[in-house]
Amino acid sequence: MESTDQTAQQLMFSLIEIWKESGQSQITFCKEKDIAYHRFHYWLKKYNDLNGTASATPSFSQVRVASLNSTSVNTEVIYPDGRKVIFHQPIEVSFLRNLLA
């Protein structure tokens, strides 16, 4: 049984290295190689843990609000992965603060 686990690990680790050099997104690579996305992530975490390349980036970022009583125009919230929430009308800073809490 241990041999099977080692074989699976070697296979997945080699696929992860191929993915890293491919320049493809994880989803595209998994579809192309017919690998379940969740399975790829399971092995990617093991690979990163073993190689000491796990991300040290925090999941959350501190948000500082300059004033609690002012209004904002065209407010944007930009997440680390590039997603944006854009308000095209004035919003109260207290609303934004409650939204992010």
pLDDT per residue over 23-49, tens digit each? 888 889 999 999 998 899 899 989 988
pLDDT per residue over 56-100, tens digit each? 555 566 666 665 555 556 777 776 667 788 888 888 878 877 777
Burial of residue 19 (CB within 10 Å: 0-12, 13-18, 19+) is buried
Dig out the tokens for 53 from the structure.
Answer: 């390349």
End-to-end CA distance of the chain: 47
- pLDDT of 62 reads 66
Assessment of whether the complete model's pTM goes beyond 0.85: no
- pLDDT of 98 reads 76
8 A C-beta contact, residue 80 and residue 61: yes
Alpha carbons 19 and 31: distance in angstroms, whole number: 12
pLDDT per residue over 63-72, tens digit each? 666 655 555 5
- pLDDT of 68 reads 53
Residues 6+ positions from 14 with CB-CB distance below 8 Å: none
Alpha carbons 88 and 101: distance in angstroms, whole number: 21
